[in-house]
Amino acid sequence: MLKMIQCDKFMVDGKVRPPIQFKPGLNTVLGDEVGSNSIGKSTMLMIIDFAFGGDDYLRRLIDVQENIGFHVINFTFEFEGTLHHFSRDTSDWNQVNVCDVHYNVKHTLSKDEYLKFLRQKFNLNLPELTFRSAVSRFFRIYGRETLDPKYPLQSAMREPQRDSIEGLLKLFNHYLEVKLQKERTNQAKQAESTFKNAQKYRYLPKVSNQVQYKENEKRILKLEQSIEKLVAESLNGTIDGESVQIESAAELRQQLKIAKRKYIDLVSELEHMEIDRIKRNSFEKGFRELQSFFPEVNMKKLEDIENFHRKLDRILKDEFKERCSELERSIALSSKEISQLEAKMTALGSLTNVTQIILSEHCQKQKELDQLKTANATYDTRKELKQKREALELQLNTLILEVMAFAEKEINETMKQLNQRINDEKTAPKLTIKDADRYTFTTSHDRGTGSQYKGLIVFDLTALKMTDLPVLVHDSVLLKQIEDHTLEAVLKLYTETEKQVFISLDKKSSFSKGAQLLLQQTNVLQLHPKGGELFGYAWNVTQTDL
């Protein structure tokens, strides 16, 4: 249990407050007789939540942090007679310090490690239940999102009701019965989501709706008929082999066409070079014959020109030989490539006799056919995944209702018993699990504010009695809504448990004598204005008011 809280920022009449000591059962933080606000009652409850691993003291009480600044909260828990000392610094709230008896830091735990420690020491070792998930729903403090009397199961305002119901299942130790079914359902959801994303990012083809699906089916039928007709009209009356072979034949035919064109170009270039060589060798003979027809020609000038050509020919001779060698090698390789492609075509059998036009047309239609079939297949798969997910969700919802039916009956019977002890004339609150995603919490024939908050308190006391929940925290915002003559009965119920209950209240003298006595006996901290606030002053008043 929580044994003590201390902070050097807690002041009273200008002096540091002594440590605040707690005990089993009810612990009351009292205000003054006029119900003064802003003296620290709710803040103290938030600090208690802080000691139990909560963060709302820092997240929500911004005015405290702005006016007090960074400070250290020291606190002690007692388990089986052993004291465990800790501190949390508001400047580094994601860790908890393990301390000696004087609150000197020995070592540091992460907040998660600290919460696991509390879970173990409070024997709250229920499957899938974290310590904060268990207790935070029952820390009903002004400023936290757990004060709605219509939704007692929620730990936060935006928490889905499904999560609230599952939290109740875990706390009442019924979660294992639905855990496996939930895992199967989540796997189905993940599979469907992954498939949708694959379509979204176009890794898989997508059919938008049933209309498009049927249009695809019509097109598939036409393509299949067209392909059958194409095969029948082919050269041999048939095209053997699968579509993959047909695609290979078309590709080979195209490759062979390119290879032959390349071979022809290479041979042509080599032939032209040979013709040029012959022409150069026959030039001198033609030159001598020219003189017999034209005796007056200037032979000296022609010989000079010829000598220049011979010099140039010698320069280019080596390059000519090298290029011819290159062409011969390329022709040999090209011839080999043609032979290999022809061999592959021969291996495809009758496909070699099919014209390129038929093969190309067949490939094009087959490709479209495959794409349409794949698109419709993905539509079928997505439909199957959706149906599987919906079926598993239905099974999960049914199972949760079956499991909760028993727990719901026990909870409502216990709430009825506790409600009779508070006021046997008024109707008891009732919890109804409608399905896995919805619940209601109502008090029949009584919609008054006091009745609603009384129902919330009765539910919490039921959870405290029926489960391993170790602690309740109820702020005055709940209790002061209850009729004065009913409060004494509520306080008695608080005191009957050995588990700790922390409340805040003021205007003690306005209640019954029995209630006053209980409040006085359980008082652990008395607060009042003008120096008796939790931090010794109120920052929402001017200096002259102080």
The string of DSSP letters for 265-326 reads: HHHHHHHHHHHHHHHHHTHHHHHHHHHHH-TTS-HHHHHHHHHHHHHHHHHHHHHHHHHHHH
Q: Which of 12-26, 95-109, 355-369, 530-544 has the lowest mean pLDDT?
A: 355-369
Average pLDDT over residues 322-345: 79
Query: If we measure between CA atoms, which residue out of 318, 350, 93 comes closest to residue 237?
Result: 350
Asked if pLDDT for residue 231 goes beyond 70, the answer is no
Q: What's the pLDDT band for 235 if we cut at 50, 70, 90?
A: very low
Query: If we measure between CA atoms, which residue out of 215, 199, 211, 166 comes closest to residue 386?
Result: 199
Q: Which domains does the chain have, with CATH numbers?
A: 1-122+470-546 (3.40.50.300), 210-376 (no CATH)
Report DSSP state, residue 352: G
Asked if pLDDT for residue 290 goes beyond 70, the answer is no
* Amino acid sitting at position 208: S
pLDDT of residue 245: 57
- Assigned token pair, 39: 């003296």
Q: What's the pLDDT band for 354 if we cut at 50, 70, 90?
A: low
**Mean of pLDDT over the chain:** 84
Asked if pLDDT for residue 267 goes beyond 80, the answer is no
Asked if pLDDT for residue 101 goes beyond 60, the answer is yes
Asked if pLDDT for residue 2 goes beyond 70, the answer is yes
Asked if pLDDT for residue 288 goes beyond 70, the answer is no
Q: What percent of the chain lies above the pLDDT cut of 90?
A: 46
Query: If we measure between CA atoms, which residue out of 184, 129, 248 comes closest to residue 388?
Result: 184
Asked if pLDDT for residue 388 goes beyond 50, the answer is yes
pLDDT of residue 300: 62
* Amino acid sitting at position 125: N
Q: What percent of the chain lies above the pLDDT cut of 70?
A: 81
Average pLDDT over residues 372-382: 78
State how far the Cα of 45 lies from the Cα of 324, in Å rounded to an integer.
Answer: 99
Using alpha carbons, list the distances in angstroms from residue 346 to 341, 343, 350: 9, 5, 8
Average pLDDT over residues 196-221: 75
- Assigned token pair, 505: 């209240």
Report DSSP state, residue 350: G
Report the run of H or E that residue 473 belongs to, with start and end. strand 471-474
Average pLDDT over residues 146-161: 92
Q: Which of 42-46, 295-299, 379-383, 450-454 has the lowest mean pLDDT?
A: 295-299
Indicate the pTM of the whole model.
0.70
- Assigned token pair, 120: 């173990």
Average pLDDT over residues 90-97: 93
Contact between 531 and 40 (Cβ < 8 Å)? no
In the numeric block, the tokens 């079928």 are attached to 380
In the numeric block, the tokens 């390789």 are attached to 333
pLDDT of residue 357: 57
pLDDT of residue 326: 82
Query: If we measure between CA atoms, which residue out of 192, 191, 167 comes closest to residue 178?
Result: 167
pLDDT of residue 546: 40
Q: What's the pLDDT band for 310 if we cut at 50, 70, 90?
A: low
Asked if pLDDT for residue 543 goes beyond 60, the answer is no
Query: If we measure between CA atoms, which residue out of 248, 60, 227 comes closest to residue 139?
Result: 60
Q: Are strands 15-16 and 11-12 parallel, antiparallel or unpaired?
A: antiparallel
Burial of 111 (0-12, 13-18, 19+ CB in 10 A): middle
Hey, which bits of 71-138 come out as E strands?
Answer: 72-79, 82-89, 95-99, 105-110
pLDDT of residue 496: 95
Contact between 519 and 491 (Cβ < 8 Å)? yes
Asked if pLDDT for residue 127 goes beyond 60, the answer is yes
pLDDT of residue 294: 57
